[in-house]
Amino acid sequence: MTARPSGAPEAGRTKRAGNRNGTIICGGLLAAAYFCALFLVASPASALASGDIDQLKTRARSAALWQSPQWRAFLHYRGDESVIDEPKYFLSVDGKTNAEAELIASIDALFAPLSDGHAACRFAARYEWLEAELGFKGAVEPMRDCPEFRQYMEALAPRSATLVFPESYINSPASLFGHTLLRLDSQLESKLVSFAINYAARTGQEPGALYAMKGIVGMYDGYYTVHPYFKRLNTYGNIENRDIWEYELDLTEDEVRRLALHVWELRDMGAEYYFFDENCSYALLFLIEAARPRLSLTRELDAYWVIPLDTIRAIDGAGLIKSRSYRPSRATRIRSIAGELGAEHLDNAIRISSGNGGAIANIGAMELEFASEYLQYLRAEGKVGDAEYRQRLLEILGARSALGQVEYAVTEPVNPLATHLSAQASTGVGFSGGRAFGLLYARPAYHGLLDPPAGLREGASILFAQTEARLYDGSAELSRFALIDIASISPADRVFKPFSWMVSAGYRRELTSDDERPGVLWIETGGGMAAHGPLGALYYSMLRPAVKTDHEMGYALGAGLSIGALKRIDERFPASLEARAFDYMAGHKHRQMEIEFRQGVPFGAGRYSLYFSLKGSKLGAYSSTEGSVSVGRFF
């Protein structure tokens, strides 16, 4: 992970001894003045004369408060400016780029006489902090008269904070990156009714590709949203079927309160949303820094790529994770229950849920557990109508309620924090068509099928900008630049029947004779099915339309078929065997066949891996063999 050095000067309050004494004296006088004012003026309004505000500003200036990490955290400064674009977030016209101006303007607004729509009703966190820093104690806190703010704090009643990480979901390799949200718990035992803070983009009704593009280039605005946790669980856990990890944070109650106050300040304050950079997880780091500003989370990750898992690593590295717990998705629960049922019982339960016959009388509790969850899954997928669903659910649950309690085992998977780091560089040697080469390889993200498997779904891979250079006989060449290489090999079984797919595009060299390795650009996609089979391997087959450039005829267009098997040997050593045959039927007509075996051997606690590969190829009439061994490091 490369980090750009932050542009901001290192934060620290400058205090001059002489002035500190002056500060205490000023504070004493001020307090005395207030006491007198209270005594004489019986009104509860904290009427600050403008002279007093000037004193506060002087105090602020001499302490250079705008340089403090707390102030920068409140303003969401990254380098020399705030990432927040909404002008209403700044009390000064220059607030987005001038932290000092913003501080002075905030003092003016926050310590002004009480009124409706007082700035403190919005900027409660700033108010409380400035109040403490400037040694000011008003007779009355202005937030007492802010009904919406009070309603918010009463609803949340926050005491502790938990970072929530929904994992990937099936057939979405992009979701391997994960997502993060922050849950604030009250003193209630139930976490379902806690409120969760989620940074999300406000999107429109545009179609898929445009939606993705806009998200990448920052054409959407991102907002902090606060909703009951059960709504998030319904979406992520039950509809998207993502396993969820909850990491309890080691923040004090005061820090959590400050975090909650700061979230209130951010209500409806938009910022440009960038998928890669200023995204959901990065946005949450500002909240944690607002709670504990001596953390340097946003500066550590001030880089081009911000992957949610990396933000959790940063938080973990700061010693903030107290404990973790695992919450299986609905699909995981369904699979776990299915594991307790024999084939016949499982088939019967599936039939009951889908309304395809199936005997409900005299069946066991475990089958009914399955049927209930599976029916809800079908409903979420839109595969069963509303009235039918309700009727059937009640029938199943009515029968279930007569059968006491049952338990089923859910295996807790590997902690996502054990996942390998996303960038990789490797070096090695090999041979191709009888000639030896040295190789150098690098890629920024994210996970390939041969990489250390811990914490990541089998068969899912997403790789960007893979670059390989080879050195033959003292001459170096680019042998491959795979812009994207995404695969989703998803096993179908009795219960779930997803399809599998892949897409890849880039530049590669192909061996056409012993001495010739012309480069081609290619785009390929593929669709098919996969299932577990003998030896515990994942077998798949895909039909792959392909097009590539060609030196003779300009292009070659055709389709291929690939058949392969993946296996994580001993859960640790990923192996892959694939045979593929392409028939290019237009342009330069020819056939291309390959059979390739690859093996990954991770070591060093997922920090390194060895890779072996052996491939036999036949391109047109020319046959060749290629092999390599390399060692890679993740960072």
Residues 212-251 that bind another protein (CB under 8 A): 212, 214-216, 220, 223-228, 230-231, 234-235, 238-239
* Of the candidate residues 398, 434, 518, 604, the single one contacting another protein (CB under 8 A): 398
Binding flag, residue 188, another protein (CB under 8 A): yes
- Taking the C-alpha atoms of residue 432 and residue 513, their distance in angstroms, rounded to an integer, is 11
Binding flag, residue 151, another protein (CB under 8 A): yes
| Distance of closest approach, residue 626 Cβ to another protein, in angstroms | 31
For every residue of 349-415, DSSP letters joined together read HHHHHHTS----TT--HHHHHHHHHHHHHHHHTT-S-HHHHHHHHHHHHHHHTTS------------
Binding flag, residue 397, another protein (CB under 8 A): yes
> Which residue's CB is nearer to another protein, number 118 or number 179?
179
- What 21-27 contacts at long range (C-beta under 8 Å, 24+ apart), as own/partner pairs, is 23/59, 23/62, 23/135, 26/55, 26/59, 27/135
| Distance of closest approach, residue 380 Cβ to another protein, in angstroms | 5
* Of the candidate residues 80, 94, 253, 268, the single one contacting another protein (CB under 8 A): 268
Q: How far apart are the first and last CA of the chain?
A: 6
Stretch that binds another protein, among 27-35, 49-57, 265-273, 554-562 (CB under 8 A): 265-273
Instruction: Enumerate the β-bridge partners of residue 429.
Output: 438, 629
Instruction: Enumerate the β-bridge partners of residue 560.
Output: 544, 582
**How many residues line the site for another protein (CB under 8 A)?**
77
- Residue 237, classified by CB atoms within 10 Å of its CB into exposed (0-12), middle (13-18) or buried (19+), is buried
Q: How many CB atoms lie within 10 A of CB 497?
A: 11
Binding flag, residue 379, another protein (CB under 8 A): yes
- Taking the C-alpha atoms of residue 163 and residue 248, their distance in angstroms, rounded to an integer, is 6
Binding flag, residue 393, another protein (CB under 8 A): yes
| Distance of closest approach, residue 212 Cβ to another protein, in angstroms | 4
* Of the candidate residues 9, 51, 147, 404, the single one contacting another protein (CB under 8 A): 404
The amino acid present at 387, given as its one-letter code, is: A
Binding flag, residue 491, another protein (CB under 8 A): no
| Distance of closest approach, residue 605 Cβ to another protein, in angstroms | 28
> Which residue's CB is nearer to another protein, number 379 or number 420?
379
Give CA angle at 633 (628, 635), nearest 5°: 145
Instruction: Enumerate the β-bridge partners of residue 439.
Output: 428, 470
Binding flag, residue 173, another protein (CB under 8 A): yes
* Of the candidate residues 29, 192, 359, 543, the single one contacting another protein (CB under 8 A): 192
* Of the candidate residues 13, 61, 159, 267, the single one contacting another protein (CB under 8 A): 267
Binding flag, residue 621, another protein (CB under 8 A): no
- What 37-43 contacts at long range (C-beta under 8 Å, 24+ apart), as own/partner pairs, is 37/139, 38/139
Spatial contact of 593 and 581, defined as CB atoms under 8 Å apart: yes
**Sites for another protein among residues 195-214 (CB under 8 A):** 195, 198-212, 214
| Distance of closest approach, residue 394 Cβ to another protein, in angstroms | 6
Spatial contact of 542 and 502, defined as CB atoms under 8 Å apart: yes
> Which residue's CB is nearer to another protein, number 195 or number 441?
195
| Distance of closest approach, residue 205 Cβ to another protein, in angstroms | 5
- Taking the C-alpha atoms of residue 546 and residue 560, their distance in angstroms, rounded to an integer, is 7
> Which residue's CB is nearer to another protein, number 268 or number 515?
268
Please give the DSSP secondary-structure letter assigned to residue 572. T
* Of the candidate residues 400, 420, 443, 470, the single one contacting another protein (CB under 8 A): 400
Spatial contact of 403 and 365, defined as CB atoms under 8 Å apart: yes
* Of the candidate residues 97, 325, 391, 513, the single one contacting another protein (CB under 8 A): 391
- Residue 438, classified by CB atoms within 10 Å of its CB into exposed (0-12), middle (13-18) or buried (19+), is middle
- Residue 330, classified by CB atoms within 10 Å of its CB into exposed (0-12), middle (13-18) or buried (19+), is buried
| Distance of closest approach, residue 356 Cβ to another protein, in angstroms | 20
> Which residue's CB is nearer to another protein, number 276 or number 622?
276
Binding flag, residue 372, another protein (CB under 8 A): yes
Binding flag, residue 390, another protein (CB under 8 A): yes
Binding flag, residue 536, another protein (CB under 8 A): no
Binding flag, residue 273, another protein (CB under 8 A): yes
Binding flag, residue 412, another protein (CB under 8 A): no
Query: Residue 510, Cα to own-chain centre: how many angstroms?
Result: 37
